[in-house]
Chain A
Amino acid sequence: MSEAIPNNITDNMTSNRTVAILNTEAPFSSATGKESLDTALIFGSYEQAISLFFIGDGVFQVIGDQNATEIEIKDYLKTFSALGFYDIENIYVCRESLTERNLPENFHISNIQVLSNKDFSQRLHQHNVIFRF
């Protein structure tokens, strides 16, 4: 729990640095998407500012109208709707990746910002640390 961590420890780690999580894989084909989301929630729990980025097949993570229960696995996509409780509000999707895959801007979470490749890249590199999943 966040209360258990003394301030001096978090200060020495990443508290003043911005963290980006870059998602590049589709959900459910592997555990990657779930692991990425868990990582984001851990940072959120410790009040670390964090942004989520979705590019390539990663954009499938946020596309709406998916039903994981049909393949009988835990639908972790539902957890995305709880991101607000972890103060995770910066969520970016690459427009070109949507276009290449013929995907509409139909997402299962609100407050997503769709950015052109250039803006996406620029925004990503404003962060001090990038974790790629």
Chain B
Amino acid sequence: MTILYKNQSIATDKQGYLLDFTEWNEDIAVLLANGDNVELSEPHWEVIRFVREFYLTYNTSPAIRALTKAMKAEFGEEKASSRYLYRLFKEGPAKQATKYAGLPKPARCI
């Protein structure tokens, strides 16, 4: 599968995750979110950028528990609860934020 960005097609897997994370940019994040009828707000971006940074540092997409723990260190308790994150990403924060961040789907995550 592919998505179209500036007349270029970008390869994704069946669920819409980019096959090559280096092809990502923030415009593409918007496209990926639009495909799911999600409009990205600043709180979404905070998580998306954080997840992307996590991946670039540790070479792995964080599963939900690791995500909340790492977010807590960065943003404090309030923004690191799974309730807060599920409100932003209804299909599952780890799964959905990694998708918009252009990363592979976390293997350890439903």
Q: Which residues of A contact B65 (CB under 8 A)?
A: 1-2, 44-45, 47, 85-86
Contacting pair A81 B110 (CB below 8 A): no
Q: Which of B11-19, B32-40, B56-64 faces chain A?
A: B56-64
Interface size on B, residues (CB 8 A): 20
- Segment among A57-65, A70-78, A124-132 that sits at the interface with chain B: A70-78
Minimum Cβ distance to chain B for residue A3 (Å)? 6
> Hey, what's the 0/1 contact readout for B46-77 against A, CB within 8 Å counting as 1?
00000000100111101111110110000000
Interface of B is mostly: helix
A45 lies within 8 A of B59 (CB): no
Contact B59 A76 (CB under 8 A): yes
> Which residues of B are found within 8 Å of A105, using beta-carbon distances?
none
A22–B29 Cα distance when bound, in Å, is: 40
A119 within 8 Å of B (CB atoms) = no
Interface of chain A, helix or strand or loop or mixed?
helix
Q: Does A42 contact B (CB under 8 A)?
A: yes
> Nearest residue in B to A80 (C-beta to C-beta)?
B58
Task: Tell me the complex Cα distance, A114–B62, Å.
Answer: 28
Question: Top 4 A-B pairs ranked by shortest CB distance?
Answer: A85-B66, A82-B58, A78-B59, A45-B63
Interface residue ranges, B against A (CB under 8 Å): 54, 57-60, 62-67, 69-70, 82, 92, 94, 107-110
Q: List 5 A-B contacts (CB under 8 A).
A: A1-B63, A1-B109, A42-B108, A78-B60, A79-B58
